[in-house]
Structure 1
Amino acid sequence: MNDTLTPVGGRGAWRGSTFDYRQDGLWQLSGEELGEIDAALATLKDHGDLDLTEITPATFPLQRVGDLLTRLRDELRFGRGFVLIRGLSRERYGDDDLARIYCGLGAHLGEVIPQSGKGEILGHVLNVADLVDEQVRGYRSAMAMNMHCDGHDVVSLLCLREAKEGGASRIASAAAVHDRMLEIDPDLVRVLYRGMPVMRGRMDAEYGDGRIVTSGDVALFTKTDGEFSSCVHVAQTRDAARAGHFEITAQQEAALELFCELSSSPELYLDMQIAPGDIQFLNNRLIVHGRTPYVDHDDVGRRRHLMRLWVNIPAWPRRPADQQDIYSMEDLPLWARQRQPFMELPERYLAEVTARQRAAVGG
């Protein structure tokens, strides 16, 4: 890290209070593009009942939309760092077909990868906190979620159903937070460049390479050849300190707190309403994301339900060395061994959750 810190600037250092994402960030699918997606789904089904892992550019062929996704890769890396794609019809497609389309788009964007030690390549963001005995992670509840990034290159969400009230996707540019911190206290920015250890999930470690905490410090901010990259896991860093893996200093805590304060400030964040059929893409190296709390339906079949993909982009360079320790490539094939065929299909998943709800109420 250079002692002379400079702002990131550019389109990627946007401030949410200064623009409307519906004018700069919303991509509407054209009739021709929707027709091509429909034809790709028909081609996929001609191959028989393929598992989601068998959806590839060959089994789900796209040309016009493939060109769109090439532009999307550039916008995620060199532009705003996020895109919301709109146009898929909830009336035309059932949940399982939307999952197939979603994985097909992901396969053209890059490599769809497992998201946890369970091996799932399609995640379900659904409130089940009242249906299970154990404490659930934030995305499986209706609580607010603090600003953070997910693993590897790109995280994406496709909305199946909205909440009764609330549940906006809150995003912010980590580059803009960096630049605002630089104006306030450059010494705290340097702390985040040096980084801190990060605690990994127990199951992710158990089924992965075994490490419960990173072997070294993970830089929240770094620049390589002039390209900025962020890696923000504030809660897991504090977990590592509480578990005794390192002794957090007052300055480190102040740096984390300032990042949280700024990324959650109306000046910098942007609240995005993801409607049914919308697909959000975020560059995990540039964007931090969270969620506002929400009120949901009692019936689990009507609750807010989003599907999630993690995608690695082979055309992008690997993360800088001081950010790779938390995202072990060795984990991915080990996690994949836990996966069962067809386990993430949303209609099957929702049927299982619905049965659990009925059992809980004695129905």
Structure 2
Amino acid sequence: MQQTVWRQPITTPHAWRRADLLDHDRWKRRITAAEQREVIAALRHAQAANVPMLHWQTDDFPLDTLRGTLDEIASEVRDGAGLVLLQGLDIAGLTDEEVCMIYWGLGVYLGEPLGQNPKGDLLGHVFDQGREYGKIDVRGYETSAYLPYHTDRAELLGLMCLRQGLAGGLSSYVSAAQIYNIILAEHPEYLGLLYNGFYYIRREEALSGNGVSAQPLPVFGHQDGVVRCRYIRNQINAGADKRGIPLTPLEREALDYLDSLTQRDDLRLDFMMAPGEIAFCNNLTTLHSRTSFVNGPEHQQQRHMLRLWLRFANPWPISALFGEDGNYVLHGRTVVSTATT
């Protein structure tokens, strides 16, 4: 089954350039002193109630005031520019476990948690595990290496800074919707290839079995006039290597051109996240990256991010050609996965 290529420019706020975001502050939210107190009160409430964190509902982490800000964030991420940086949360003096609880409590208001691996982990930890970037069974977030622009397997992606490293680790975001517009305007001949898609490596099976997606997965696709993006170049390259069928020169040319657009200074937005800051993005319309980093010898100098994968409360129209996006567990209930990456 194939779909026709959407050949109209994307005119929603999802198609932004760097200057568009810098011209306004809608992509930033700052927690007030009153909201900070409410967060800590919600944490103490949850600790006293002793309800397992993964089963929390909003009543288990009550936020009467901050709820409105979180509703605004959810709306901006889904229907606005697709990127929000939440600032001002003071986590000094809190344990790592307490910070995780706060992050999870905020996430409960934004969407439905999704599993991030076959084990069903719902709260991810992104730090250097000493693994070697580039090995077929290694995920980039397990290393300190530069991560090229990519999407994750979620609708709403949240990354919270628990600790910064000694140096590096700059976060970067770029609008996949704007990249789509540029490809449509300058190289429309590439869109057919990007819609047809590519085979992806399956990291969990890379060293045993076939280890490749059962079918090509689109880079771009549309449903009901809404375009989404799914892109991990390294997994496309590894999928081609695993199958023993190299990408064609035109396929490489199209992907290289897409990659070159992510590097443009006028398109991408870079910022360093401080402890307690949280970046939320629309993973269907936005690509994200980070620079390599170096950790220091002290615990507080070792970069550690917390990750949430969420499903929008208001469903997003997604073409069936994208298949199952690897959602292994919902609210602790194991589901059958046909994950392809």
Identify the residue that residue 142 of structure 1 maps to in structure 2.
144
Question: Counterpart of 1:267?
Answer: 266
2:107 partner letter: G
Match of 2:58, SS?
Answer: coil
The correspondence of residues 326-345 of structure 1 with structure 2, limited to 5 A, is: 327-329=325-327, 331-332=328-329
The number of equivalent residue pairs is 331
TM-superposed CA distance for 1:22, in Å, is 7.7
Q: 8 Å contact 1:197–1:246 — kept in the other structure?
A: no
Per-residue CA distance 1:261-280 (angstroms, 9 max, x = gap): 11122221111211111011
Please tell me whether the aligned partners of residues 226 and 317 of structure 2 are also in contact (alpha carbons under 8 angstroms): no
Q: CA deviation at 1:239?
A: 1.3
Instruction: Give secondary structure in 2 for the equivalent of 1:103.
Output: helix
SS in 1 for 2:22: coil
Q: Is residue 6–residue 225 contact of structure 2 (8 Å, CA) maintained in 1?
A: no
> 1:111-162, CA deviations, whole angstroms, 9 ceiling, x for partnerless residues?
1122112322111111221799x97432222211100000121111111111
Structure 1 pair 22–41 and aligned structure 2 pair: CA distance change class (3 A): farther
Q: Is the 8 A contact 1:129 1:136 kept in 2?
A: no
Residue matched to 2:230:
231
> Could you say if the C-alpha distance between residues 204 and 71 of structure 1 is closer, same or farther in structure 2, counting changes exceeding 3 Å?
farther
The question of whether the paired residues in 2 share the 8 Å contact of 1:117 and 1:205 is answered with no
Distance 1:101 1:203, change over 3 A: farther
Residue aligning to 2:253: 254
Indicate the residue corresponding to 2:68 in structure 1.
67
Q: Is the 8 A contact 2:131 2:138 kept in 1?
A: no
The 1:56/1:211 distance shift into structure 2, 3 A limit, reads farther
1:213 aligned partner? 212
Structure 2 CA distance, aligned partners of 1:97 and 1:278?
Answer: 15
Mark the CA change 1:36 to 1:211 in structure 2 (over 3 Å): closer, same or farther.
farther
Look up the SS of the partner of 2:279 in the other structure: strand
TM (norm. structure 1) is 0.82
Q: Distance in 2 between matches of 1:195 and 1:69?
A: 35
Are the structure 2 counterparts of residues 336 and 4 from structure 1 closer, same or farther at C-alpha, using a change threshold of 3 Å?
Answer: closer
1:114 touches 1:336 (CA, 8 Å); kept in 2?
no
RMSD across aligned positions (CA)? 2.9
21 and 146 in structure 1: CA distance in 2 versus 1, 3 angstrom threshold: farther
- Describe the superposition over 1:291-349 as per-residue Cα deviations: whole angstroms up to 9, x where unpaired: 11222203455311111111112422353212124x144x336x976xxxxxxxxxxxx
**Residues 17 and 245 (structure 1 numbering): CA distance in 2 closer, same or farther, change over 3 Å?**
farther
Residue 7 in 1 paired to residue 6 in 2?
no
Q: Which amino acid aligns with 1:129?
A: G
Distance 1:26 1:211, change over 3 A: farther
Please give the alpha-carbon distance, in whole angstroms, between the structure 2 residues aligned to 1:39 and 1:8.
43
Match of 2:158 among 127, 136, 156: 156
What amino acid is aligned across from residue 85 of structure 1 in structure 2?
Answer: L
1:323 correspondence with 2:322: yes
SS in structure 2 of the partner of residue 89 of structure 1: coil
Amino acid at match of 2:329: L
- On the 8 A contact 1:118/1:336 being kept in 2, the answer is no
> 1:9 and 1:52, CA in 2 relative to 1: closer, same or farther beyond 3 A?
same
What amino acid is the match of 1:7? P
CA distance in 2 between counterparts of 1:21 and 1:85 reads 18
User: Take 1:65 and 1:11, find their aligned partners in 2: how far apart are those partners?
Assistant: 25
Write out per-residue CA displacement over residues 147-200 of structure 1, whole angstroms, 9 at most, x where no aligned residue.
000012111111111122221111100011111122221011221122222222
* Segment of structure 1 superposing worse, 19-28 or 55-64: 19-28
Flag structure 1 segments of 5+ consecutive residues without an equivalent.
338-363
TM-score (norm 2): 0.87
Unaligned runs of 5+ in 2: 335-341
Of 11, 24, 27, 1:25 maps to 27
Report the Cα distance in structure 1 between the residues aligned to 2:185 and 2:92, rounded to whole angstroms: 49
Letter in 2 for 1:271: D
Distance 1:70 1:271, change over 3 A: same
Identity %: 27
Q: Indicate the SS of the match to 1:58.
A: helix
Match of 1:187 in 2: 189
Letter in 1 for 2:311: N
User: Which runs of structure 2 are paired with 1:301-316 in the superposition (5 Å)?
Assistant: 302-316=301-315
Q: Quote the residue 2:100 is aligned against.
A: 99
2:114 paired residue number: 113
Change (3 A) 1:91 1:42: same
Contact 1:149 1:287 in 2 (8 A): yes
**Structure 1 residue 66, shift from structure 2 partner:** 2.3
- Contact 2:217–2:322, Cα closer than 8 Å, also in 1: yes
Give the whole-Å Cα distance in 2 for the aligned partners of 1:166 and 1:18: 25
